[in-house]
A and B are shown apart, each in its own frame.
Chain A
């Protein structure tokens, strides 16, 4: 689906230790996809849906000019039909999460609640990225393995 490997790469780029000691725990903000397609409330839904699909995504975050999150379009909303605006179709005011939430917590919760994606925002509501459940779970899993290997040293 997505040819992106979350996990260690992100820790490296975040300047966190990856060898010789337990890695710092990756956080929601490290794993969240910064390249999630965004759109505005007044855009036409079918145009956005086409753009999102062309980018290989099935979700888009609705933001204003300051990247403050207003809503979320997941696959169901994106498929909601022609002639509608983003505002009419979006899920308004989705729950958003801070970048510093530990990835294991997010992965666990997202699995439990069957939540496919969760917007990560700064404290003033600006979009950091969209956290995808499969990537959160993968990062949490790698963390678990890293911790196990660490114990054997």
Chain B
């Protein structure tokens, strides 16, 4: 599970949704870029009953 660590310096580790194989920047559930069971927003929403909020931190 930690095999990516050598490459972490500059390059972005490819993260893939466990549900649909879509590539992700970070896990939609835990926000981690190195989540071992990453899910995309859509799969996460489907899994927890369509009731997760979209992120809107920037009140811009």
Contacts and interface: CB of A to CB of B under 8 A. Distances in A.
Given A113-B29, A115-B30, 14 more contacts: A70-B59, A93-B56, A95-B30, A95-B52, A97-B48, A97-B52, A98-B51, A98-B53, A101-B52, A105-B47, A113-B30, A113-B37, A121-B53, A125-B53
B35 interface: yes
Interface string A74-108: 00000000000000000111111110111001100
| Max chain A C-beta neighbours (<10 A), residue from B31, B49, B52, B57 | B57
Nearest to A64: B59
Interface string B1-35: 00000000000000000000000000111111001
Contact of A97 (B27, B37, B51, B56): B51
Contacts of A92: 57-58
- Chain B contact patch, size range: 20 to 34
Interface size class, chain A: 20 to 34
A115 B37 CA distance: 12
B35 A113 contact: yes
A93 B48 contact: no
A104 to B, nearest CB: 10
A96 B48 contact: no
